[in-house]
Amino acid sequence: MSEEKHSSGPHPDNKASLEQAAMQDDNMQDVHAQLMREKEEPKEGFSPVPIVLMFIFAALCFWGGVYLVHYSGGFRWDAYSPNFDPNADKPVPKEIPLFERGQKVFSQQCAVCHQASGAGVPGVYPPIAGSEWVTEHPEVLARILINGLNGPIEVMGNTYNGNMPAFGPGGLNLSNKDLAGVMTYIRQEWGNAASEMSVPMVDTYLAAYASRSTPWTAAELKEGLGPIPEPEPVAEEATEGEADAAQAGDGQAEEAAH
């Protein structure tokens, strides 16, 4: 009998415990189902970053940029070196020598008439190369340049009669440096060998002749000339010393001087 029972089904005790277990399973499934229901449904797409957070990030980036610009030391590897000089590799502004400056001014302002070779145009524009008007008294040359020249003039044995425009404040108004440069250039180019005309010299002549409104004539040019100014070796040495100091990397002194 007992064998029959065994074969027909599980032991009654076993059956009870199985039913119980099934009940518990149902319970559990209920609880799970509840939990599943309560969970938020997954959505497609993405949720946007809160706008406040975006503003905070933007502000942070902006502040970071400003901070870097001010305190990064230009991202230089030697920014924290005790010998750091922020102006060390800035090019030192170099004063162009008068002669070089004058060469440029001449090619822009004078070569049209007097030619790049300084030879002039026969019968029209007198030569600059070899002209005694250029190489003798600096005041004569300054007068010609500042106020212009008019009427007959003899240059190297030939007579010219034209109009030389004024380059002073009453004319084409070149700067004192340009005037000093171009006069120095024509006194020293093409075999001309006269002294340079410094900026202070030109300033003196400008002060004397800037107010004159008429061009000179050849005869007038030789009248009332002052003494030929001595070249100033002291001033030249001073400028050379300055240049040396600047080359030694004394950028700050240079900046202060400007």
Give the interface with ligand HEC as residue ranges (CB under 6 A).
Answer: 109-110, 112-114, 125-128, 131, 133-134, 141, 144-145, 149-151, 153, 155, 160-165, 167, 182, 186
> Considering beta carbons, is residue 212 or 242 the nearer one to ligand HEC?
212
The distance of closest approach from Cβ of residue 246 to ligand HEC in the complex, given in angstroms and rounded to an integer, is 30
* Smallest separation (angstroms) from ligand HEC to the CB of 173: 12
Work out how close the CB of 235 gets to ligand HEC at its nearest, in angstroms, rounded to a whole number: 24
d(CA 86, CA 35): 68
Q: Closer CB to ligand HEC, residue 125 or residue 209?
A: 125
Q: Give me the residue label for tokens 């000089």.
A: 85
Instruction: Give the single-character DSSP code of 74.
Output: G
DSSP 8-state class, residue 107: I
What values do phi and psi take at 195, rounded to 5? -70, 160
b/e code 69-87 from CB counts within 10 Å (16+ = b)? eeeeeeeeeeeeeeeeeee
- Report residue 161: phi and psi, to 5°: -145, 90
Nearer to ligand HEC, 166 or 251 (CB): 166
Nearer Cβ to ligand HEC (74/157)? 157
Q: Roughly how many angstroms between the first and final C-alpha of the chain, as a whole number?
A: 124
Q: How far is the CB of 124 from ligand HEC (least distance, A)?
A: 7
Residues 161/220, Cβ–Cβ less than 8 Å: no
- Work out how close the CB of 74 gets to ligand HEC at its nearest, in angstroms, rounded to a whole number: 44
Which of 186, 251 has the CB closer to ligand HEC? 186
